[in-house]
């Protein structure tokens, strides 16, 4: 087995684990939303789990590259120049899905749970739009909603001074429903962000090793090189 095969096999198993993690993490807040609310649109922890960053971005869009990477290991039928080339092309879909998951997670971490942003605490005002993701600005990213004693401060960020913000900072301690929602929201989308970053790295590495295997060839039985 050449380094191309070993690296591809490692990428395949790693992506498979990340796909499972992404789907499971995304399903947890969806389940809680259905349990806590009278219907699917009431009393959610956040809007963003309904954008399916872990199920679509870190899940379904990563499956093609994962399947090809696993099929290319140990001299399987896809273990040739064409298989390596296809694994590189499919990894582009993985990267797109990972970037989507990252953007949704960053947007969710920036805005916080609905309990910090909506009086109605409902997904009625939550509209999925790629424009919302394109409007995200890194300079506007902050976690003030997580560290403040009251994340739904009526004064807002613009009217708060730096001293006011620092004096109110403190990690939630699960003493209230708001604190539990903040901790859960932070944990879920931080986990999805980490999953997406890892998938992005594995996708880039598979593109590189796929093109290397396509150019240099991979091993076959009796050490023949194709």
Residue 204: per-residue pLDDT: 95
Domain that holds residue 87: 3-223
What sign has the CA pseudo-torsion 87, 92, 96, 102? Answer: positive
User: Where do the H-state alpha helices sit in the chain?
Assistant: 3-36, 63-71, 81-111, 130-134, 144-147, 162-168, 177-216
Whether the pLDDT of residue 159 is over 60: the answer is no
43, 121 contact by CB (below 8 A): yes
The CA distance from 92 to 87, in Å, is 9
Per-residue pLDDT tens for 89-109?
A: 999 999 999 999 999 999 888
Per-residue pLDDT tens for 134-144?
A: 666 666 677 77
Residue 29: per-residue pLDDT: 85
Whether the pLDDT of residue 61 is over 90: the answer is yes
DSSP 8-state class, residue 60: G
Residue 205: per-residue pLDDT: 93
| 150 vs 206: which has the higher pLDDT | 206
192, 26 contact by CB (below 8 A): yes
- CB burial of 56-84 (b: ≥16 within 10 Å; e: otherwise) equals bbbbbbbbbbbbbbbbbbeeeebbbeebb
The CA distance from 174 to 53, in Å, is 26
* Number of domains into which the chain is organized: 1
Alpha-carbon Rg for the chain in angstroms: 21
Q: What is the DSSP string of 35-55?
A: HHSSSTTBS-S-SGGGG-III
Question: Closest Cα partner for 152 from 125, 177, 127?
Answer: 177
Whether the pLDDT of residue 8 is over 70: the answer is yes
Residue 38: Cβ-neighbour burial (10 angstroms; 0-12, 13-18, 19+): exposed
Residue 223: per-residue pLDDT: 44
């Amino acid at each position: 087995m050449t380094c191309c095969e070993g690296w591809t096999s490692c990428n395949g198993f790693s992506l498979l684990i990340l796909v499972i993690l992404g789907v499971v993490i995304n399903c947890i807040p969806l389940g809680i939303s259905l349990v806590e609310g009278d219907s699917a649109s009431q009393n959610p922890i956040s809007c963003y789990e309904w954008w399916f960053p872990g199920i679509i971005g870190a899940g379904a869009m990563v499956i093609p590259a994962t399947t090809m990477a696993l099929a290319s290991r140990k001299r399987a039928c896809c273990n040739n120049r064409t298989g390596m080339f296809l694994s590189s092309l499919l990894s582009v879909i993985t990267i797109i899905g990972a970037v989507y998951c990252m953007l949704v997670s960053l947007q969710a971490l920036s805005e916080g749970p609905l309990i910090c942003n909506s009086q109605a605490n409902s997904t009625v005002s939550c509209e999925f739009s790629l424009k919302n993701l394109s409007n995200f600005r890194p300079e506007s990213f902050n976690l003030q909603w997580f560290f403040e004693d009251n994340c739904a401060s009526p004064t807002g960020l613009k009217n708060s001074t730096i001293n006011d913000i620092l004096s109110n900072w403190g990690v939630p301690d699960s003493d209230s429903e708001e604190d539990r929602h903040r901790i859960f929201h932070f944990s879920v989308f931080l986990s999805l962000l980490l999953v997406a970053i890892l998938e992005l790295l594995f996708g880039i590495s598979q593109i590189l090793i796929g093109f290397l295997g396509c150019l240099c060839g991979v091993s076959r039985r009796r050490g023949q090189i194709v």
